[in-house]
């Protein structure tokens, strides 16, 4: 059974059993710690306490990525992905002697780059950093509405939903100006946020 140290009037007390915590009527914002935890957490952050006491995990997000930050991040990502694809294609083209095949290969890049960028975004947004290299440089990361990391399936849905932001003649991207959480249309569809990784 888990034993919790509870901060009472600024001082750690306990350890307490779950029943003893119940008797003390702990609140979601009370700080608790078990021997397995590195540091104290608010009670609503601990899954066991949420389940037992019916706490709702509180969303602590206050700072959202702005349109200009996201635009810079997108430009950097296009630069990185295009650069890698072009350099790879150039190296491969050195071994192609047929000019027609070489030109066809070069034009195929127009279709390859967006596919590579889609895969790159899905993978990077669902990893621990929750961000592509462009977003990392801009100090941004992608999360769900509770601030949690996206699953690969959720990241696929978010990036597939960008087609709607593009089909609206890019007005879907400008939607962030009319949304208090600065979500673009695809973020609204996928229930995701782009937040500042640090202040």
* Of 131, 120, 24, nearest in space to 80 by CA: 120
pLDDT at 101: 84
Same domain membership, residue 174 and residue 141: yes
Domain shared by 72 and 157, yes or no: yes
> How crowded is the C-beta side of 17, counted as CA atoms within 13 Å?
3
Six token digits for residue 123: 């993978």
Residue 92 is assigned to a structural domain of this protein: no
Is 126 among the domain residues? yes
Q: Average pLDDT of each block of 10 consecutive residues along the chain (199 residues)?
A: 86 90 86 89 84 71 86 97 92 85 82 95 96 96 90 97 94 92 95 83
Residue 13 lies in domain = 4-53
Q: Which spans in the chain are helix H?
A: 18-23, 47-53, 67-93, 99-125, 133-137, 152-160, 162-167, 171-174, 185-190
Do 77 and 160 share a structural domain? Answer: yes
- 33 and 131 in a single domain? The answer is no
| Residues facing residue 13 across a β-bridge | 6
* pTM check: above 0.75: no
Residue 97 belongs to some domain of the structure: no
pLDDT of residue 155: 97
- CA distance linking residue 143 with residue 187, whole number of Å: 10
């Amino acid at each position: 059974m888990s034993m919790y140290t509870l901060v009472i009037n600024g001082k750690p007390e306990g350890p307490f059993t779950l029943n003893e915590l119940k008797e003390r009527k702990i609140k979601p914002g009370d700080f608790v710690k078990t021997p397995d935890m590195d540091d104290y957490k608010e009670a609503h952050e601990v899954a066991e306490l949420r389940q037992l006491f019916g706490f709702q995990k509180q969303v602590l997000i206050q700072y959202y990525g702005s349109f200009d930050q996201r635009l810079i991040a997108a430009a950097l990502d296009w630069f990185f992905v295009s650069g890698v694809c072009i350099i790879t294609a150039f190296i491969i083209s050195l071994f192609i002697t047929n000019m027609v095949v070489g030109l066809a290969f070069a034009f195929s890049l127009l279709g390859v780059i967006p596919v590579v960028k889609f895969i790159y975004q899905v993978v990077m947004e669902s990893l621990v950093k929750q961000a592509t290299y462009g977003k990392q440089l801009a100090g941004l990361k992608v999360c769900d509405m509770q601030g949690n990391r996206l699953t690969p399936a959720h990241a696929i849905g978010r990036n597939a939903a960008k087609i709607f932001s593009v089909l609206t003649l890019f007005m879907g991207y400008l939607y962030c100006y009319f949304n208090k959480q600065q979500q673009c249309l695809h973020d609204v569809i996928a229930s995701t946020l782009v937040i500042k990784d640090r202040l």
